[in-house]
Protein backbone atom coordinates (compact mmCIF):
# COMPACT_ATOMS: atom_id res chain seq x y z
CA UNK A 1 0.00 0.00 0.00
CA UNK A 2 2.88 2.37 0.72
CA UNK A 3 4.08 1.89 -2.86
CA UNK A 4 0.73 3.06 -4.19
CA UNK A 5 0.93 6.14 -1.97
CA UNK A 6 4.37 6.98 -3.32
CA UNK A 7 3.23 6.30 -6.87
CA UNK A 8 0.27 8.64 -6.52
CA UNK A 9 2.44 11.37 -4.98
CA UNK A 10 5.11 10.91 -7.68
CA UNK A 11 2.55 11.26 -10.49
CA UNK A 12 0.84 14.29 -8.95
CA UNK A 13 4.16 16.08 -8.36
CA UNK A 14 5.47 15.11 -11.81
CA UNK A 15 2.31 16.50 -13.44
CA UNK A 16 2.47 19.71 -11.41
CA UNK A 17 6.14 20.15 -12.33
CA UNK A 18 5.42 19.65 -16.05
CA UNK A 19 2.43 22.04 -15.84
CA UNK A 20 4.65 24.74 -14.28
CA UNK A 21 7.40 24.21 -16.87
CA UNK A 22 4.96 24.34 -19.79
CA UNK A 23 3.36 27.53 -18.45
CA UNK A 24 6.75 29.20 -18.02
CA UNK A 25 7.65 28.25 -21.61
CA UNK A 26 4.52 30.01 -22.86
CA UNK A 27 2.25 27.02 -23.43
CA UNK A 28 -1.29 26.59 -22.14
CA UNK A 29 -1.06 23.34 -20.15
CA UNK A 30 -3.80 20.73 -20.29
CA UNK A 31 -4.08 17.85 -17.82
CA UNK A 32 -5.13 15.39 -20.55
CA UNK A 33 -1.97 16.10 -22.56
CA UNK A 34 0.20 15.90 -19.43
CA UNK A 35 -1.28 12.46 -18.65
CA UNK A 36 -0.62 11.29 -22.21
CA UNK A 37 3.01 12.46 -22.04
CA UNK A 38 3.40 10.58 -18.77
CA UNK A 39 1.83 7.39 -20.13
CA UNK A 40 3.74 7.35 -23.42
CA UNK A 41 7.13 8.81 -22.50
CA UNK A 42 7.78 8.77 -18.77
CA UNK A 43 6.08 5.61 -17.51
CA UNK A 44 8.18 3.28 -19.73
CA UNK A 45 11.35 4.69 -18.08
CA UNK A 46 10.30 3.34 -14.67
CA UNK A 47 9.75 -0.45 -14.75
CA UNK A 48 8.56 -0.53 -11.11
CA UNK A 49 5.35 1.26 -12.20
CA UNK A 50 4.21 -1.86 -14.09
CA UNK A 51 3.68 -3.65 -10.77
CA UNK A 52 1.21 -1.05 -9.49
CA UNK A 53 -2.37 -0.27 -10.44
CA UNK A 54 -2.76 2.09 -13.40
CA UNK A 55 -5.87 3.56 -11.73
CA UNK A 56 -3.63 5.17 -9.11
CA UNK A 57 -1.85 7.42 -11.61
CA UNK A 58 -5.05 8.13 -13.53
CA UNK A 59 -6.73 9.41 -10.38
CA UNK A 60 -3.60 11.36 -9.38
CA UNK A 61 -3.81 13.31 -12.65
CA UNK A 62 -7.57 13.67 -12.31
CA UNK A 63 -7.07 15.16 -8.83
CA UNK A 64 -4.44 17.55 -10.19
CA UNK A 65 -6.83 18.65 -12.94
CA UNK A 66 -9.58 19.27 -10.38
CA UNK A 67 -7.16 21.29 -8.24
CA UNK A 68 -6.40 23.54 -11.21
CA UNK A 69 -10.11 23.89 -12.03
CA UNK A 70 -10.79 25.05 -8.47
CA UNK A 71 -7.85 27.46 -8.66
CA UNK A 72 -9.00 29.02 -11.93
CA UNK A 73 -12.55 29.42 -10.59
CA UNK A 74 -11.18 31.21 -7.53
CA UNK A 75 -12.30 28.45 -5.16
CA UNK A 76 -8.84 27.36 -4.02
CA UNK A 77 -5.16 28.16 -3.92
CA UNK A 78 -2.60 27.22 -6.56
CA UNK A 79 -1.84 23.47 -6.27
CA UNK A 80 1.20 22.61 -4.15
CA UNK A 81 3.59 19.71 -4.35
CA UNK A 82 2.64 16.77 -2.12
CA UNK A 83 5.00 15.78 0.69
CA UNK A 84 5.50 12.33 2.14
CA UNK A 85 3.59 11.81 5.35
CA UNK A 86 1.21 14.78 4.98
CA UNK A 87 -2.35 13.70 4.15
CA UNK A 88 -1.13 10.71 2.14
CA UNK A 89 -3.91 9.13 0.10
CA UNK A 90 -4.59 7.43 -3.20
CA UNK A 91 -7.67 6.30 -5.12
CA UNK A 92 -8.33 2.96 -6.75
CA UNK A 93 -11.41 2.39 -8.86
CA UNK A 94 -13.20 -0.60 -7.41
CA UNK A 95 -16.36 -0.95 -9.47
CA UNK A 96 -19.12 -0.03 -8.94
CA UNK A 97 -17.86 2.09 -6.05
CA UNK A 98 -14.67 4.17 -5.98
CA UNK A 99 -12.56 3.77 -2.85
CA UNK A 100 -10.27 6.50 -1.60
CA UNK A 101 -7.68 5.05 0.74
CA UNK A 102 -5.96 7.15 3.34
CA UNK A 103 -2.74 5.96 4.92
CA UNK A 104 -2.85 5.93 8.71
CA UNK A 105 0.30 5.21 10.67
CA UNK A 106 -0.05 3.93 14.21
Q: Is 77 exposed, middle or buried (0-12, 13-18, 19+ CB in 10 A)?
A: exposed
pLDDT of residue 74: 92
The mean-pLDDT minimum among 51-55, 58-62, 93-97 falls in 93-97
* Rounded CA separation 58/75 (Å): 23
The mean-pLDDT minimum among 53-57, 78-82, 88-92 falls in 88-92
* Rounded CA separation 33/102 (Å): 28
pLDDT of residue 57: 83
pLDDT of residue 16: 92
> What sign for the dihedral angle of Cα 41, 39, 24, 29?
positive
- The helix/strand/coil state of 26 is coil
* Rounded CA separation 48/51 (Å): 6
pLDDT digits (tens, 9 = 90+) for 13-55: 999 999 999 889 988 888 899 889 888 888 888 888 888 878 8
What are the angstrom distances between the C-alpha of 6 and each of 43, 71, 74, 86, 99? 14, 24, 29, 12, 17
Amino acid sequence: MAQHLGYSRFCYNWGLSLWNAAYIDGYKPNIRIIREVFTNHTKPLYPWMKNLSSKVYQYAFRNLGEAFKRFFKGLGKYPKFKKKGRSDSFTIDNSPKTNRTKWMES
